[in-house]
Amino acid sequence: MPGGAERPRPRGYHGRAVKRYHVTTFGCQMNAHDSERIKGMLEELGLGEAPDQAEADVLVFNTCTIREKPDQRFAAHLAQARALKERNEGTVIAVGGCYAEAQRERLFELYPFVDVAFGPGTIPHLGDWLGAGGDGVARAQFGIAEERSFAGTLPMHRERRFQGWVQVSMGCNSKCAYCIVPRVRGREVSRRPGDIVAEVTRLAGEGVREITLLGQNVNSWGRDLAPDLRTDFGELLRATDAVDGIARIRFTSPHPKDFRDPVIAALADCDAVCEHVHLPLQSGATRILKAMRRTYDRDRYLRLVDKLRAAVPDLALGTDIIVGFPGETEDDFAETLAVVEEVRYDSAYTFVFSPRAGTEAATMPDPVPEDVKRDRIERLIELVQRIAAERNADRIGRVEQVLVEGASRTDASLLRGRTRRNTTVNFAGSVRPGDLVDVRIEAATSTTLKGTEAALVAA
């Protein structure tokens, strides 16, 4: 501003006719999807989106409680929100998601400046707590709803017009000893197949090319449905594959125990289902898997990998691994490294075990010292990255189909997209976001590929 004069605030900053919201998301894809619904709901209530927190009248934090890191990030964000509220009294702070649910008794005590809190599964009722246009906030209230319900029919603010997430189930019936999800998201409830296919059909009509079916335990979908609707996840893949216009189907997160033969057969048969499976291992030691209550052992997991690879040639595999679960010895950890060597994953999310209050593992004896956990995760990451780099280097010289997502994050002269095997590609090309294009791969790192649009190479 010339002369350093203070920039006049836009009229009404906080007294603006249309209030504005800002949503900050932590955690998994399920949360990212919930945030799109939260945004859609807020827009339905008459609010507009603010470019950043400082400009917003309603600050929403959609939280996660799986990992420690996002919790710390969340605390930093809350401190900033509090400062904003001190400057602008009318600011509303809403906290949703898993952390809010886990801390519902203590949330307002811990953070008295929070106005509204709500758990996952109660997004459809957001308007009841925020009021139309963000006015009429019921302060210091935890938003509970009589029944958890699917957000499938709610308005949605999609981040990308050609990609859509479709929630197929909520909750989880497993009892993994380290996991807070069953407590905060409840028992598994499957959405009716007709409703799912109707949503996918609608999305296809709106120009969506790629869908991701979402559930905490996505491939156990269907088992709790009424007897006349009972079916399995393989049938759901087939039904969505049959929807015209959907070129790619992904799904997350599956549990190894629920990859039954009909599901594997559907993976092999359905053209739109991508050659990528996320197959959480958690540990390579049968002893630890048992303590984790994962219900499979090392050998069963490896047999499943063989079956999947036999059914889907050129399959990319991702995984989740936890190091430092209580009682994990150096030998147990060596077994995890051995499984990683044997499977050769294309990608892996690695976690240091962190006790979550209310889970079985939080009170288990024999915790692994922090420095040992650190050392193990570093060795694991090194191995995962070496193998991923080798797997990606194998793609050099091939042509991969890429769904274009936008400009490259590292080089604005390049485009960015994803292969069917779910690897990010930065490439030279003249196509637009949403296009499906063949790209010749020319270089690779452990996380990305680089190439040129095949039509340009041929020209």
- Binding residues vs ligand SF4 (CB under 6 A): 172, 174, 176, 179, 181-182, 216-217, 255
Name the strands in the sheet holding 58-63, side by side, starting at the edge strand that comes first in the sequence.
Answer: 48-49, 20-25, 58-63, 92-97, 116-118, 141-143
Between 193 and 280, CB nearer to ligand SF4: 280
Report the nearest approach of ligand SF4 to the CB of residue 358 (Å): 12
Piece of 119-127, 191-199, 347-355, 400-408 that binds ligand SAM (CB under 6 A): 347-355
- Counting residues that bind ligand SAM (by CB under 6 A) gives 17
Residue 356 binds to ligand SAM (criterion: CB under 6 A): yes
Is 216 a binding residue for ligand SAM by CB under 6 A? The answer is yes
Of 28 and 246, the one with the shorter C-beta distance to ligand SAM is: 28
Nearer Cβ to ligand SF4, position 250 or 255?
255
To ligand SAM, the closest distance from the beta carbon of 294 in angstroms equals: 9
12-19: long-range contacts (C-beta < 8 A, 24 or more apart)? 13/55, 13/88, 14/57, 14/88, 14/90, 14/91, 15/90, 16/57, 18/46, 18/47, 18/48, 18/133, 19/46, 19/47, 19/48, 19/57, 19/58, 19/133, 19/134, 19/135
Question: 351 is in the binding site of which of ligand SAM, ligand SF4, none (Cβ under 5 to 8 A by kind)?
Answer: ligand SAM
Distance (Å, rounded) from C-alpha 428 to C-alpha 7?
A: 41
Q: Does 353 bind ligand SAM (CB under 6 A)?
A: yes
280 binds ligand SAM (CB under 6 A): yes
Q: How far apart are CA 353 and CA 367, in angstroms?
A: 10
Pick between residue 47 and residue 172 the one whose CB is nearest to ligand SAM.
172
**Cα(256)–Cα(417) distance, rounded to whole angstroms?**
28
Length of the chain equals 459
For residues 216 and 423, which CB has a smaller minimum distance to ligand SAM in the complex? 216
Given ligand SAM, ligand SF4, none, residue 182, with its beta carbon under 5 to 8 Å by kind, binds: ligand SF4
Q: Judge contact between 240 and 248, C-beta under 8 A.
A: no
**Residues forming the site for ligand SAM (CB under 6 A):** 28, 66, 178-179, 181, 216-217, 253, 255, 280, 282, 320, 322, 351, 353-354, 356
